[in-house]
Amino acid sequence: MPQLNGGGGDDLGANDELISFKDEGEQEEKISENVSAERDLDDVKSSLVNESENNSSSSDSEAERRPRTRPESESYEKTREYFSEALRRQQQDGGFFKSPHYPGYPFLMIPDLTNPYLSNGSLSPSARTYLQMKWPLLDVPGSAGLKDSRSPTPGHLSNKVPVVQHAHHVHPLTPLITYSNEHFSPGTPPAHLSPEILDPKTGIPRTPHPSELSPYYPLSPGAVGSIAHPLGWFMQQQGQPMYSIPPGGFRHPYPALAMNASMSSLVSSRFSPHMVTPPPHGLHQTGIPHPAIVSPAIKQEPNSDNISPSMHAKSPVPAKKEEEKKPHIKKPLNAFMLYMKEMRAKVVAECTLKESAAINQILGRRWHSLSREEQAKYYELARKERQLHSQLYPGWSARDNYGKRKKRKRENKPDSKPEAFEVQC
Partner DNA sequence: TAGCCTTTGAAGGAG
Partner DNA sequence: CTCCTTCAAAGGCTA
Task: List residues near DNA by CB under 7 A.
Answer: 1-4, 6-7, 10, 14, 17, 21, 237-238, 240, 242, 294, 328, 330-331, 333-337, 340-341, 344, 354-357, 359-361, 363-364, 367-368, 375, 379, 382-383, 386, 397-399, 401-411, 413, 422
Three-state DSSP class for 206?
A: strand
Q: How near is the Cβ of 293 to DNA at its closest, in Å?
A: 10
Three-state DSSP class for 237?
A: strand
> Which one, 315 or 412, has the nearer CB to DNA?
412
> Which one, 39 or 192, has the nearer CB to DNA?
39
> Which one, 62 or 422, has the nearer CB to DNA?
422
In eight-state DSSP terms, residue 70 is S
CB atoms within 10 A of CB 121: 14
Select from 143, 141, 139 the least CA-distant residue to 157. Answer: 143
Backbone dihedral region for residue 276 (phi beyond 0: left; psi -120 to 50: alpha; all else: beta): beta
Q: How near is the Cβ of 242 to DNA at its closest, in Å?
A: 5
Q: How near is the Cβ of 398 to DNA at its closest, in Å?
A: 4
Q: How far is CA 139 from CA 25, 98, 107, 175, 209, in A?
A: 38, 8, 10, 21, 7
Q: How near is the Cβ of 314 to DNA at its closest, in Å?
A: 26
Q: How near is the Cβ of 57 to DNA at its closest, in Å?
A: 16
Tell me phi and psi for residue 328, to 5 degrees: -85, 115
> Which one, 193 or 345, has the nearer CB to DNA?
345
Q: How near is the Cβ of 55 to DNA at its closest, in Å?
A: 18
Q: Look at the chain and count its residues.
A: 425
Q: How many CA atoms lie within 13 A of 244 on its CB side?
A: 19
Q: How near is the Cβ of 183 to DNA at its closest, in Å?
A: 11
CB atoms within 10 A of CB 413: 7
- What contacts 24+ positions apart, CB below 8 Å, involve 63-68? 64/346, 64/347, 64/350, 64/366, 65/37, 65/40, 65/41, 65/366, 65/369, 66/33, 66/34, 66/37, 67/366, 67/369, 67/370, 67/371, 67/374, 68/371
Q: How near is the Cβ of 296 to DNA at its closest, in Å?
A: 9
Q: How near is the Cβ of 100 to DNA at its closest, in Å?
A: 29
State the alpha helices, DSSP H only, in 209-272. Answer: 232-235, 256-259, 261-265
> Which one, 196 or 419, has the nearer CB to DNA?
419
> Which one, 102 or 179, has the nearer CB to DNA?
179
Amino acid (one-letter) located at 57? S
Task: For residues 146 and 142, give the distance between their C-alpha atoms in angstroms, rounded to a whole number.
Answer: 6
> Which one, 99 or 244, has the nearer CB to DNA?
244
> Which one, 229 or 383, has the nearer CB to DNA?
383
Task: For residues 174 and 169, give the distance between their C-alpha atoms in angstroms, rounded to a whole number.
Answer: 9
Q: How near is the Cβ of 119 to DNA at its closest, in Å?
A: 20
Burial class of residue 212 (count of CB atoms within 10 Å of its CB; 0-12, 13-18, 19+): buried
Burial class of residue 420 (count of CB atoms within 10 Å of its CB; 0-12, 13-18, 19+): exposed
> Which one, 131 or 335, has the nearer CB to DNA?
335
> Which one, 96 or 378, has the nearer CB to DNA?
378
